Amino acid sequence: MPADTTHALGADQSEGEHEIARIFALQKAAYLQNPFPSYDRRIAGLDKLIQLIETNEDAFVKAISADFGCRSKHETIIAEMLVMVSGARMAKKSLKNWMRPRGVPTPLHMLPAKSKLEPQPLGVVGIIAPWNYPVSLALAPAIAAIAAGNRVMLKPSELTARTSDVMREAIGSVFDEDEFAVVVGGVETGQAFAETPFDHLLFTGSTNIGMRVAMAAAKNLTPVTLELGGKSPAIIDDSADIEKATNPIAYGKMLNAGQTCVAPDYVLTPMNKLDATADAIAAAARMLYPEIDTTADYTSIISDRHFARLKAMVEEARDRGARIIEVGSSNALYPQRKLPLTLVIDPPADAAVMKEEIFGPILPILPVGSTDEAITRINKGERPLALYWFGEDTDARDRVLQQTISGGVTINDTLWHVAQEHLPFGGVGKSGIGAYHGRAGFETFSHLKPVFYQSRFASGGLLHPPYTEKTEKTLSFVRKIL
């Protein structure tokens, strides 16, 4: 067995590396033949993306559900298909404007010259996609990269192998390999992919793996966009209506069974409303998913390993004195891997549920005495990917916005800032590097080339040697107008 395993891994590595190198060379050559695809060609690429999403919707829905064990058809359509089509159509409407060279001010002493930023495709873009939203987190960056005029190589997750196979077939049916291609494989293939000298590499996944991807890319000085995760807080201000606040918190946490990078990771609520908050979140969860073991609306945990990790987190918190509230039936724990929403009331600060990104339907709820205490708690940790604030006190809201740093924020709801294509999506610090979506994505995958157009009436020659009294007079004039 060990020998067979080693051989299989070696074969995967060799075959994967060969396929990556072959496609990369093909796309690089195609880019060099046409380094600035026309507006019409880019629109055609976006149309192909819309076509493959709409044509393969049923296949994606079935494959994703099979990969997870159970995932709602409606959840997949809402969180993946609609989001992708919306993003691609917005890019089509905006592309002409995004491609246009942008004039920037030219200082008085340089006039009548002109200055512009001219967007230029980078070349070949690599995308490493995760398993939790295997279609949208693969194709959203591809939309931006294709709009910017690039060639794209995609490495989807091996944990959602059925979806990856559908993705490869769907993309191959509408795109030539030198435009957009999919490479499948395991960890070794992923490592080889990250070490490929792309013109830009986007990775979505955990912070730990993101660090390894960044180090691999650094060997080629490949610029990276890292979409990671972290402990995203939901703050319930004293001015909030508890029922109105807790419904979107429950939804944001239970969508995809909490396997969402921007899911609320813990709740900070006023000390005197701790029990009311827990009761309201539990009530909201029961309304959303009355019986998790009988409804197809609630998603399974992706694997036995992740399921065991989540259960261990809960048991550690319980053993250390935290109060545990399970919301929903536990009849489907095995083999369906459906984990009830599990509220963990006031766990220790060094418990695993408070130190690690949870990535599942476990929600710690902690009491705080004030807005300042909430801010202090958040700032003690790493900067989160998302932050959610609920309430009516605009002064408290603005203090939180000004005194905390997070990748993005939704006020009086959860998740929505990610779906707003005109807002950049990305992290800060250990929750990520760079951003995409909408125009931000176009610019991430473009080089905004600075171009200075000198005028034939330029007077810069007056500052050339040999230096004379005329030079002194010119310098004196320039100093006055600077």
The amino acid occupying position 34 is: N
pLDDT of residue 478: 86
Measured CA to CA, the distance from residue 25 to residue 2 in angstroms comes to 35
pLDDT of residue 10: 42
Is 356 labeled as catalytic in the residue annotation? Answer: no
Average pLDDT, the chain: 94
Cα maximum dimension of the chain: 92
pLDDT of residue 330: 62
Could you say which residues of the chain have pLDDT below 70? 1-13, 329-334
Strand 180-182, strand 408-411: pairing:
unpaired
- Secondary structure, 3-state, the chain: CHHHHHHHHHHHHHHHHHHHHHHHHHHHHHHHHCCCCCHHHHHHHHHHHHHHHHHCHHHHHHHHHHHHCCCCHHHHHHHHHHHHHHHHHHHHHHHHHHHCCEEECCCHHHCCCEEEEEEEECCEEEEECCCCCCCHHHHHHHHHHHHCCCEEEEECCHHHHHHHHHHHHHHHHHCCCCCEEECCCCHHHHHHHHCCCCCEEEEECCHHHHHHHHHHHHCCCCCEEEECCCCCEEEECCCCCHHHHHHHHHHHHHHHHHCCCCCCCEEEEEHHHHHHHHHHHHHHHHHHCCCCCCCCCCCCCCCHHHHHHHHHHHHHHHHCCCEEEEECCCCCCCCCCCCCEEEEECCCCCCHHHHCCCCCCEEEEEEECCHHHHHHHHHHCCCCCEEEEECCCHHHHHHHHHHCCCCEEEECCCCHHHHCCCCCEECCHHHEECEECHHHHHHHCEEEEEEEECCCCCCHHHHCCCCCHHHHHHHHHHHHHC
pLDDT of residue 397: 98
pLDDT of residue 103: 96
Looking at 17, 19, 227, 382, which residue is catalytic? 227
Measured CA to CA, the distance from residue 414 to residue 236 in angstroms comes to 12
Quick: pLDDT tens for 302-319. Answer: 999 999 999 999 999 999
Measured CA to CA, the distance from residue 133 to residue 31 in angstroms comes to 29
Do residues 264 and 253 touch, judged by C-beta distance below 8 A? yes
pLDDT of residue 328: 79
Q: Which domains does the chain have, with CATH numbers?
A: 2-228+435-447 (3.40.605.10), 233-424 (3.40.309.10)
Quick: pLDDT tens for 21-47. Answer: 999 999 999 999 999 999 999 999 999
Is 70 labeled as catalytic in the residue annotation? Answer: no
Angle between helices 39-55 and 136-147 (to 10 degrees): 160
Query: Which residue from 176, 181, 226 is spatially nearest to 200, judged by alpha carbons?
Result: 226
pLDDT of residue 3: 34
pLDDT of residue 331: 63
Looking at 179, 261, 382, 443, which residue is catalytic? 261
Long-range contacts of 397-405 (CB under 8 A, 24+ apart): 397/237, 399/371, 399/372, 399/375, 400/235, 400/371, 400/374, 400/375, 403/375, 403/379, 404/375, 404/378, 404/379, 405/429
Quick: pLDDT tens for 70-83. Answer: 999 999 999 999 99
Phi/psi at 383 (5° precision): -70, 125
Do residues 98 and 442 touch, judged by C-beta distance below 8 A? yes
Quick: pLDDT tens for 315-351. Answer: 999 999 999 999 976 665 667 899 999 999 999 999 9
